[in-house]
Each structure stands twice: as C-alpha cells, then as structure tokens.
Structure 1
C-alpha cells in the first residue's frame, strides 16, 4: 500500500493526497483500478473511510477489493470550506491524470477504471465520468496529460440534480437543500435558487450524453439527506440517451445504508458490476 501520495498541490491550498491499495505485483498483468471518492456533504469526510455501514467488517472494503484483484485509489479533494465548485471536480480530474501518468510504473491498467463514490463522492464520481474528454472541466491542478478510461461508475445515493433536490425531499428530510446554509449552498458558494447556472453545471444530469459509461445507481428509499428521486432522475436521463444503467432502490434504507441490516448485498452487487465492466475475473460485460 502507498499511503499519502501527493497527486496535486493547488496554489494556496494543502497538498492533495491519495492512498493506493494494490494486489501483489505481476509485471505481465496490469490490474484494473477502483477510484473511490468519499462522501461527507462536500464539507467533511476522509479518504481512509468507506462509510460507517462497513466499519465493523473484519476485512474492510478496500482490502476486499484488493483480494478481488483490483487496485484501489482513494482520494482527498478540496472540501467546500476550502474552495467552491468546480474545485472538487478539478481535483478528481487531476487524480485521474496522475493515475494515468504513473500506471506503467505502478502496474495499473488505465484502460479499466471504475469510479465508485458514496453520497457527495457519488456525485463527484458521476461528474468525473460524464465530463470525460471535456477539456473545459480539467482545471489546472496536478500533472497535465491524458486521463484514464472510465469503464463504469458505482454511484451510491449521490445528488444528481441540485435544482430538484428540495422538491424531491421527504417530509422528514434532515436539511433543506435550497437553504442559504445548506451543503449544496456551501458547495456552490451561493444558495441553489440564487445560482441556477452554477447549480446546473454542478449537476450530473446536465452532462449526460450517449458517451456515458455504464452506471450502477443504488439508493435507499428512506434517504433523508439525498432523496432517492435523485438516482431515479439520473437513471432516466441515462436511459433517454441509450446508456447502460442499473438502478437499485433499497427499500427502507436511509442515507449511508442506515437501517440496512447487512450491507453485504449492495457491496457484492457493486463489486460484481466493477468486475463485469472491466472484463475482470472472467465475468461477462453487462448487456
């Protein structure tokens, strides 16, 4: 494992770090990569944590992915208290370019990369994939050069359209996305209704095209932080463009898979999806 590798250093900010977990090196066979993007409402979170639902696992999610034959790169990115959007997207792009630049040295297959994020990390994973090959979203953080090929996206309960979150929210919602002090407002630097163009740019649904990679969307129907309608909306947009998407609504689960007795099923489903889109472990690609 390589811990705390600097992949970029934006002027005036802290260095941006990633942790890289790797299987035993085989010089003849570069390994596919899962790029994990942590959640935390864009304002908190740590790259060494997969989510509280998995904290008690004897073998944690990162190690399980490595045992399945993946390398895992888990990223820091600038939080909303440090910089507003699109800084977070620029940081993710820089990390992907770093992985591409060092793939040969590290034994990574830059042509088989799955983005996997939860909550705010799911939002950023979706944005990273949907703005692929869009130079206007690359930013100037980190090394220049090409990025990786995104083979698929696992998006767990991530916001998809900041403009519709308020009206999709449950009656027992924990917060009001349109409020002046919401997580969304802190990300944008202004309340969502006051910054419609910025909110649209920060919404994955705005960037969907027929070029999108396969998506696996999973969301609890009782989510009080990010309404499950967000994943339904993104799935509909992807289908309208003829893209491959699987939507799993988990009955009764709240945010962070709270209320789900055993998250094993959702994790195993995501791992199988990652293996399929990478043509890994001999599994067929999804139809």
Structure 2
C-alpha cells in the first residue's frame, strides 16, 4: 500500500457509507446445477443445488434426479414434501414409502424429478412457500437445456402440506401477482399436471386436530413463540384465525377453467386431513370444467398408513398419470 492510499483509508473525514466508496461484488441469486452423482443404473442426481437465495433466510435447496437412459429432453415432476408446513425436507418421503421410491420410480419411467425445500411456516407465512416453489420451477426452466429436460412438460406431485402446495401450483400458473420475486426470472412457473396426495384444499374447513397429550411433544414445540397456535393452517398464515387469510391460502379459492388436470388420491380413513378436503377440491374442479380424477384408498389413513399393501399400486398409478399427461421421450 502506498503512503497516499494509507492516508486515504485512514482519513476519518471520509464517509465509507457513501455510494461509490465501496464496491461489493453482486451476490449470486442462484447457483448452477454443478456435477451430478451417478447413484444407480437408473439415476443421476444433482444434490444440494441452491435454486434461490432470499435476504434474511437460508438458501433454498433442491435435488434433481435425472433418468440416465433418456435420449432426448425428458418431462420433469417437482416433488413437494409434507410436514404440516412445519416439518420435513426435500429428501424425506412419508414413513410408509420406501426411501427414494418416488424419485426412482419417476426416473424408471423416463421422467426427471426435482425435490425442493421451501420455507416453513415459522420462517415465513404464506405465500412464501408458494413463491419458493414457483422459483424452483423457474430455475428448472432456466437450466432446462443443461439438464436435458423439456420446459414445456412439467408436473407437480406432493403429499399432505405438499399436496396443498402442488394444488396451488396447478391453479395459479397464470397469476403474476403470486410469482414472488425470488430466483430465476423470465420463465413460467406453471405445470401441466398435478398429483395431490391427501392435501388440504380449504383451510377454513379443516377441523382442529385433537391428539392426547397435544398435537406435538414439547421437544418439538420449544421454539414456537408462547401463545402461538399449533394448528397447521393457522401457523401457515402467521398464527391468525382470520377467515380471509385462510381463504387466500386455500387452493379452492383459485380454481379456474384453465387449471392443470388433477389426480387426487386420498385415504377414506385419514384422521389428519379428512377425505372431505379432496371432495371440496374435486367439486370446485368439476364446477369449473377442469379435468380431474379421484382415487379413494380403502382403509388408508394419513400417508396411506393402514393401506401399505396398496402402496406399490398407488405410486404406480401416480407415475402412470404423469407418463400419460406429460409423455415420455
């Protein structure tokens, strides 16, 4: 350092906060996919991909599972995990599912799969979760050529809270006011088919969960602010019981004739999200003339617990639905 520079740096009269005094390199909004890991003869996986950054929050991550034997651009399905908007991450499937089964089965059918994290309800209230997943879809279209995926053939599949969110993706593809501003820009966030496993469709019509000893054990609720409702639907909208906020976060509020086709799968013995939630969405889709199918699983509780002997068929039905709606290479 020269004497002149040293004097300049140490000069107390210089206001370092003025524009032009400090040059900060631009922060990356997202990262490129990186290098895939070959996990089997069927799949290659890009892991820990940062698809969006948001000031004040953790980076948002996804894993991208690609079929190794695909010759041309493949369709893609975005998988969205459940967890009452409060728990879970992209790598965890329901306890009744075999590990990685959803991702593997899609790849075996020649369909790519991205599994994305999103902000939980104590991190940010709705519509942050929808904004995150729309950013994930835009990211995948940004890198479609590099990933050998077809940006015009995207679907979304989710369970429980994830079912609620993929329903919203299928219903709000043309809602610019719900895009959010995160991540890659200049791409659509729409999907062409939705598979919704036992998702919530109307937050106003969810009965309170009454479990002996409380909804969650104390070791899970220690970080929840005192007095905050533990009901998932209220937590999603910032702890409020305001009916307008609950309606604004409900898929049934967004049904229009241009919605994507839906496959709704729900157990008839679901004690957490009653089958009536699927009935409400199916009725709204029918009234709007939207193509949809409902599959009711006899004896199925939440996560299809109690109907594990049907699980292979249930998953195969979902994969076949995407194959028919999105096509394969």
Whether TM exceeds 0.5 here: the answer is yes
1:9 is aligned to 2:56: no
What does 1:24-103 correspond to in 2, within 5 Å? 24=68, 29-55=72-98, 60-103=101-144
CA apart distance, 1:67: 1.2
Could you say which residue in structure 2 is the equivalent of 1:285?
Answer: none
Could you say which residue in structure 1 is the equivalent of 2:319?
Answer: 271
CA contact (8 A) 1:5 1:18 kept: yes
Instruction: Report the CA distance shift for 1:38/1:92 in structure 2 as closer, same or farther (over 3 A).
Output: same
CA apart distance, 1:170: 10
Report the secondary structure of 1:94's partner residue.
Answer: helix
1:235 is aligned to 2:279: no
Q: State the Cα deviation string for residues 45-64 of structure 1 (Å, max 9, x = none).
A: 111122111136xx722112
CA apart distance, 1:181: 2.3
CA distance in 1, matches of 2:105, 2:297: 22
Q: What is the TM-score with the length of structure 2 in the denominator?
A: 0.78
CA apart distance, 1:198: 1.1
CA distance in 2, matches of 1:166, 1:75: 28
Instruction: Report the CA distance shift for 1:134/1:140 in structure 2 as closer, same or farther (over 3 A).
Output: same
Instruction: Report the CA distance shift for 1:55/1:25 in structure 2 as closer, same or farther (over 3 A).
Output: closer
CA distance in 1, matches of 2:118, 2:133: 7
Structure 1 runs of 4+ aligned residues shifted over 2 Å read 169-172
Could you say which residue in structure 2 is the equivalent of 1:18?
Answer: 62
Could you say which residue in structure 2 is the equivalent of 1:133?
Answer: 174
CA distance in 2, matches of 1:195, 1:112: 37
Report the secondary structure of 2:286's partner residue.
Answer: helix
Could you say which residue in structure 2 is the equivalent of 1:110?
Answer: 151
CA distance in 1, matches of 2:211, 2:142: 47
CA contact (8 A) 1:110 1:149 kept: no
1:225 is aligned to 2:311: no
CA apart distance, 1:145: 1.2
CA contact (8 A) 2:203 2:246 kept: yes
CA distance in 2, matches of 1:280, 1:212: 22
CA contact (8 A) 2:83 2:160 kept: yes
Could you say which residue in structure 2 is the equivalent of 1:255?
Answer: 302
Report the secondary structure of 2:308's partner residue.
Answer: coil
CA apart distance, 1:261: 3.0
CA contact (8 A) 2:234 2:246 kept: no
CA apart distance, 1:150: 1.3
CA contact (8 A) 2:82 2:161 kept: yes
CA distance in 1, matches of 2:61, 2:188: 17
Q: What is the TM-score with the length of structure 1 in the denominator?
A: 0.89
Unaligned runs of 5+ in 2: 1-44, 216-227
CA apart distance, 1:25: 6.5
Count of aligned pairs between the two proteins? 271
Report the secondary structure of 1:155's partner residue.
Answer: strand
CA contact (8 A) 2:122 2:238 kept: no
Q: State the Cα deviation string for residues 217-259 of structure 1 (Å, max 9, x = none).
A: 0011111111110001100100111110001111211001110
